[in-house]
Amino acid sequence: MKTYPQNLPSLTRMRFFAALWVVFYHWREPWVIDIDATSQIFAMGRFGVDLFFILSGFVLTHVYVAAREEGRFNFGRFIIARFARIYPLHIATLAFLGLVAIGAAQLGVPFEQDRFPLQDLPAHLLMVHAWGFAPNFGWNGPSWSISAEWFAYLAFPAYLMVAVALKNRPLILLTLAVALFFVLDQVHLRFFGETLPMATERYGVIRIIPEFLIGVGLYRLGQKWQLPKPIARASLAVVVALYLFGSHIAVDDRVLALLGAPLIFLLAELDRRAVTKTNHGFFVYLGDVSYAIYMIHVPFFMVSFNLLQDVLGVIDETMSTSLFAALLVIMIGASAVTYQIIEKPARTGIRALGDRLLKTPTKSSIEGKRL
């Protein structure tokens, strides 16, 4: 059986489109075109987060499970690498929003003060705000999922333990993961009256627990089974069609969240058969930038829209399609700059510091794999 390649470019490209879907979800309301009257596909953009959660379980298992099986897994090194991946941009975004709030107050520009609750700031700084410690919408709203991811990283040894214990029983592992999804769904329904994929600021952490495990199970399934390329391609076309149609008609939240699983599995199957290339192209780069897109798109839009409306007075409460597109292009460009000047240097610096603290080599075979 052919193993998965070190890099999985199709999954990296998907990260960009998942992030873009979340952008459309948050930006669509002031758009002059009432897209929700025609299709629910943008209104369902919040499911980009579920794709990220399942994808994280899959990719991190891909990168680290062999090290765990061979006794080489170093949790200290792992958690420093994950901290370096998410924290610098998270803290930079919080600092930017704090400056925006202060500047708006000084200039007398209208802004929602309740979006910046100081009592919730410590939880945001510690990345535990989606663990029930800061249940209000505030600061950088999308960062609740980063808080959930942080929980999954801290719990990763437990996920690896399950992955090793059920290595040869991937269907049992997936069944347990899906069962856990529905158990936690009922818990969330019982206490909050909403399905599990609606869990965000309050207890978004419980949303990632089963979805990350689904990703772990999918990877184990791929190690056990391999689909012929024609079947993988045909299956992917069917799943994409179902996923898009389900988004269009706003199918049940739980169905759409779980449909992300076969989508990720089949994309990885195509990567397994792909010819290795040194340059995977523009959309792979945008996949690398996707974390910055996800993290800055709400602050960018808030500042841009308020500047155009309240300071310059060039728009009212809506924006044209051309303005929508222009802001989108500028935001993606700003995300690329952010990736280059904040994410990459900070990640390298923190990992190097971690290497010195742990007295481990600066390079490792597992770091060659795209995260």
Query: 5 lies in a domain?
Result: no
* Residue 137 pLDDT greater than 80, yes or no: no
In angstroms, what is the C-alpha Rg of the chain?
21
Q: How confident is the model at residue 276 (pLDDT cuts 50, 70, 90)?
A: low
* Apex 21 CA angle, 314 and 253, nearest 5: 125
* 330 belongs to a structural domain: no
Banded model confidence at residue 130, pLDDT cuts 50, 70, 90: very high
Instruction: Please indicate, yes or no, if residue 347 is contained in any of the structural domains.
Output: yes
Domain presence at residue 123: yes
310: confidence class by pLDDT, cuts 50, 70, 90: confident
Mean pLDDT of the chain: 92
- What range defines the domain where residue 79 resides? 48-274+340-368
35 Cβ partners below 8 Å, 6+ apart?
28, 41, 42
Residue 291 pLDDT: 98
Residue 295 has pLDDT above 80, yes or no: yes
d(CA 243, CA 260): 8
Determine if the pTM surpasses 0.85.
yes
| Residue 322 in domain | no
pLDDT at 217: 98
Residue 126, in any domain of the structure: yes
Q: For the residues 92-112, what does the mean pLDDT come to?
A: 83
Q: Identify the pLDDT of residue 36.
A: 95
How many folded domains does the chain comprise? 1
Residue 31's beta-bridge partner residues?
A: 319
Q: Categorize the per-residue pLDDT at 278 as very low, low, confident or very high, splitting at 50, 70 and 90.
A: low
For residue 146, being part of any structural domain is answered with: yes
Q: Own/partner pairs for 162-165, CB < 8 Å, 24+ apart? A: 162/213, 162/216, 163/61, 163/65, 163/68, 163/216, 163/219, 163/220, 164/65, 164/68, 164/69
The dihedrals phi and psi of 123, each to the nearest 5 degrees, come to -65, -40
pLDDT of residue 371: 52
Instruction: Provide φ and ψ at 319, rounded to 5°.
Output: -135, 145
At 367, the pLDDT band (50, 70, 90 cuts) reads: very low
Residue bearing tokens 């209208």: 110
In a domain, 282, yes or no: no
